[in-house]
Each structure stands twice: as C-alpha cells, then as structure tokens.
Structure 1
Amino acid sequence: MLLGRRLAAMTELLKSVDYEVFGTVQGVCFRMYTEGEAKKRGLVGWVKNTSKGTVTGQVQGPEEKVDAMKSWLSKVGSPSSRIDRADFSNEKTISKLEYSDFSIRY
C-alpha cells in the first residue's frame, strides 16, 4: 500500500503559478497567513508586498494543492483582509520544484 502511494506521488503533476492579490491585503498579516497556508498544504514559493498596495508571489507544488491555494488566495486570505480580486499568470507544469520551502520576501 505504501509503495502505491509513493508511486502515485512520484507521478503527480507539479504546477507553478504566479499571483497578485488586490484589495486590502497589506497591513492585515496577509503574507504571514499565505506562508502558513502554503506550508500547511506542502507548497513552496514566496510572497511579498508590492509598492502599489498588492501582494504578489509564486506558488509551486502538486496540481491539486496549487489549485486549492489559488482558491484560498482568491476567496479567503487573512482574517482582516478584503480580497477584491486575484490575478494568476505564467501557470505551467514543471518537472521539479524550484524552491525548497515557502518564504516571505521583503
């Protein structure tokens, strides 16, 4: 049974996507919650504030988990945030992860 799970995990498609979240997403712990949510889901990548008041980043991992994170970024966020919209770009299948963990960039 364990061998079957390992083989399934090895053949799982990896996905990478860039994102930018608009709304009240700075000064509301959005980056901290994003980092926590990504780590909880076993995803890698990064998140940072932009000078125009948005939050941007990249997330990578198994396709299902990346899709779930996209939904979280679009609809949930941090408790005090107000998400107007989330834009996703450069969505692609990758052969290996480009990061070893998920981090907040400054």
Structure 2
Amino acid sequence: MFLSGILFCLFTVAMAENKLTSVDFEIFGNVQGVCFRMYTEDQGQSLGLSGWVKNTRQGTVVGQIQGPQDKVNDMKVWLRSVGSPSSRIDRAVFSNQRDISKLEIHGFSTRY
C-alpha cells in the first residue's frame, strides 16, 4: 500500500512536468529599444520553449510561449521580473493560458 502511494505520487509529478501549456503575454514598461525581444528569444530557447515575441505600436512587447508547464512558469517569472539588462518592466499580463496536447509553434522567434 505504501509503495503504491509513492508510485502514484511520482507518476503524478512526472505527468505534471510533461503537461504542455500555452500562454500569451504582454509586457509594459521601458521594453522597446533595449533588446528586450532578443533577450526574450534567447531565454525562451535556453528553456527549450517554443513561441514568438514582437513589439507593438503601443510601446509594449507581446508574444506567446508554449512548452512544459514548469518551464513556461519559469519564463513567466523571467518576463515579469528580469527582462533585458536595460529594460524596466512595469507590468506583465498573461492571458489565454491553456493546456495543449502538442506544440503548435516550433522554435522561438522574433516577429516583425
């Protein structure tokens, strides 16, 4: 009984790590002209995520990230609090978070 409980817990943790998620983001602050997109693309690639990032006419940066839920959460923390060295992040908004069965985007890129 005890062993089956441990196996169930390990299985649950393994399944949570393999769960794929997708989330849209918009970052407000001083995030244009400070290499924010380049650093975002590099960070996404280093975490093994798929997605895209681009500037808006309103002075924000928007994008989408997809991948394992734990890595997407790591990227959300990075977008909310780190960014590029010269950026100033005032606010990060995440929306449309959903579970996905497979990646809909392959690789991480900057869109224009």
Q: TM-score, normalised by structure 1?
A: 0.90
Match of 1:60 among 66, 82, 98: 66
Number of aligned residue pairs: 98
1:39 and 2:58 are equivalent in the alignment: no
Task: Report the Cα distance in structure 2 between the residues aligned to 1:33 and 1:47, rounded to whole angstroms.
Answer: 10
- What secondary structure does 1:42 align onto? coil
1:49 and 2:55 are equivalent in the alignment: yes
Match of 2:83 among 57, 60, 77: 77
Task: Tell me the residue number matched to 1:88.
Answer: 94
- What amino acid maps onto 1:29 in structure 2? C
Structure 1 residue ranges (4+ consecutive) displaced by more than 4 angstroms after TM superposition: none
Task: Tell me the residue number matched to 2:11.
Answer: none
Q: Percent identity?
A: 65
Task: Tell me the residue number matched to 1:15.
Answer: 21
Structure with max Cα Rg? 2
- What amino acid maps onto 2:106 in structure 1? S
Q: Tell me the CA shift for residue 69 of structure 1.
A: 0.2
Q: Which runs of 5+ in 2 are unaligned?
A: 1-13
Q: Tell me the CA shift for residue 99 of structure 1.
A: 1.0
**Cα-to-partner distance string for 1:9-66 (whole Å, 9 max, x where unaligned):** 8x71000000000000000000000000000000001000000000000000000000
Q: Which runs of 5+ in 1 are unaligned?
A: 1-7
Q: CA RMSD in A?
A: 1.2
Q: TM-score, normalised by structure 2?
A: 0.85
